[in-house]
Amino acid sequence: MNQQNNSKSESNKSENISLDISSPEFYTNREISLLKFQERVLEQAKNEKIPILNRLRFLCISSTNLDEFFEVRVAGLKRQIMLNISLLGADHPDQLTPIQQLTEIREESHKFVEEQYRVLNHVIIPKLQKQSINITRRSKWSTELVSWVKTYFETQLFPILTPIALDPAHPFPKIQNKSLNFIVSLEGEDAFGRASELAVVQAPRALPRIIRVPDEIATAKDEFIFLSSIMHAHIDQLFPGMQVHGCFQFRVTRNSDLFIDDQEDMEDLLHAVEGELLSRKYGDSVRLEVVKNCPEELVKFLKHEFHLGEEDVFRVDGPVNLNRLVNIADSVNRPDLEYRPFTPNNNSDLVKGANIFEEIAKKDTLLHHPFDAFSPIIELLQQAAHDPHVVAIKQTLYRTGSNSVLVDLLMEAARAGKEVTVIIELRARFDEEANIQLANTLQEAGAHVVYGVVGYKTHSKMLLITRREKKSLRHYVHLGTGNYHAGTARLYTDIGLITCNEHIGDDVHRLFMQLTGMSKRKPLQLLLDSPFTLFESLKKFIRREAENAKAGKPARIIAKTNSLTHNKIIQELYKASNAGVKIDLIVRGISCLKPGIEGVSENITVRSIVGRFLEHSRIYYFENDGNKDVWLSSADLMERNLYYRVETCFPVLDQKLKKRVIEEGLEMYLDDNCQAWDLQPDGQYINAKPGKNRRRKAAQEKLMVKSTKR
The CATH number of residue 654's host domain is 3.30.870.10
Burial tier of 543 (Cβ tally within 10 Å: 0-12, 13-18, 19+): middle
Which residues are bridge partners to 645 per DSSP? 457
Same domain, 686 and 596: yes
Q: Are 365 and 349 in contact (CB under 8 A)?
A: yes
In-domain check, residue 25: no
CA distances from 676 to 588, 614, 672, 696 (A): 10, 13, 6, 12
In-domain check, residue 88: no
Neighbours of 9 (CB within 10 A): 10
In-domain check, residue 593: yes
pLDDT of residue 438: 86
Same domain, 560 and 701: yes
Same domain, 577 and 519: no
pTM beyond 0.75: the answer is yes
Same domain, 551 and 661: yes
The residue annotated as part of the active site, out of 92, 459, 475, 566, is 459
Same domain, 549 and 499: no
Q: Which of 419, 374, 420 is CA-nearest to residue 401? A: 374
pLDDT band at residue 298 using 50, 70 and 90 as cut-offs: very high
In-domain check, residue 334: no
Is residue 520 scored above 90 in pLDDT? no
In-domain check, residue 59: no
Alpha helices in 445-533 (DSSP H): 502-516
Q: What is the tens place of the pLDDT at every residue in 218-230?
A: 999 999 999 999 9
Neighbours of 185 (CB within 10 A): 19
Last residue in a domain, options 472, 503, 525: 525
Q: Which of 555, 562, 658 is CA-nearest to residue 606? A: 562
Same domain, 635 and 492: no
| Mean pLDDT, residues 272-278 | 54
Same domain, 424 and 297: no
The rounded distance, in Å, linking the Cα atoms of 607 and 588 is 7
Helix and strand numbers (H, E) in the chain are 23, 27
pLDDT band at residue 392 using 50, 70 and 90 as cut-offs: very high
In-domain check, residue 204: yes
| Mean pLDDT, residues 310-314 | 97
Same domain, 457 and 498: yes
Same domain, 594 and 460: no
Last residue in a domain, options 477, 510, 525: 525
The more confident residue out of 105 and 439 is 105
- The distance of Cα 710 from the centroid of its chain, to the nearest Å, equals 29
Q: What is the tens place of the pLDDT at every residue in 39-72?
A: 999 999 999 999 999 999 999 999 999 999 999 9
**Domain of residue 314, CATH code:** 3.30.1840.10
In-domain check, residue 123: no
Q: Which of 687, 569, 535 is CA-nearest to residue 36? A: 687
pLDDT of residue 269: 54
Last residue in a domain, options 496, 525, 554: 525
pLDDT of residue 258: 57
pLDDT of residue 382: 95
User: Poorest-confidence range of 390-404, 546-560, 592-606?
Assistant: 390-404
Same domain, 491 and 359: yes
pLDDT band at residue 271 using 50, 70 and 90 as cut-offs: low
Query: With pLDDT > 90 as the criterion, what percentage of the chain qualifies?
Result: 78
pLDDT band at residue 266 using 50, 70 and 90 as cut-offs: very low
Same domain, 503 and 362: yes
**Contacts of 677 by beta carbon, 8 Å cutoff, 6+ apart:** 40, 607, 608, 609, 610, 685, 686, 687, 688
Same domain, 367 and 515: yes
Q: Which of 190, 167, 175 is CA-nearest to residue 244? A: 190
- Number of structural domains in the chain: 3
pLDDT of residue 95: 87
The rounded distance, in Å, linking the Cα atoms of 696 and 507 is 43
368 in catalytic set: no
pLDDT band at residue 280 using 50, 70 and 90 as cut-offs: low
In-domain check, residue 85: no
Is residue 13 scored above 50 in pLDDT? no
pLDDT of residue 464: 98
**Contacts of 145 by beta carbon, 8 Å cutoff, 6+ apart:** 136, 213, 217, 219, 225
Which residues span the domain enclosing 428? 349-525
Alpha helices in 131-221 (DSSP H): 143-152
Is residue 272 scored above 60 in pLDDT? no
**pLDDT averaged over every residue in the chain:** 91
pLDDT band at residue 436 using 50, 70 and 90 as cut-offs: confident
The rounded distance, in Å, linking the Cα atoms of 206 and 77 is 32
Q: What is the tens place of the pLDDT at every residue in 129-153?
A: 999 999 999 999 999 999 999 999 9
pLDDT band at residue 128 using 50, 70 and 90 as cut-offs: very high
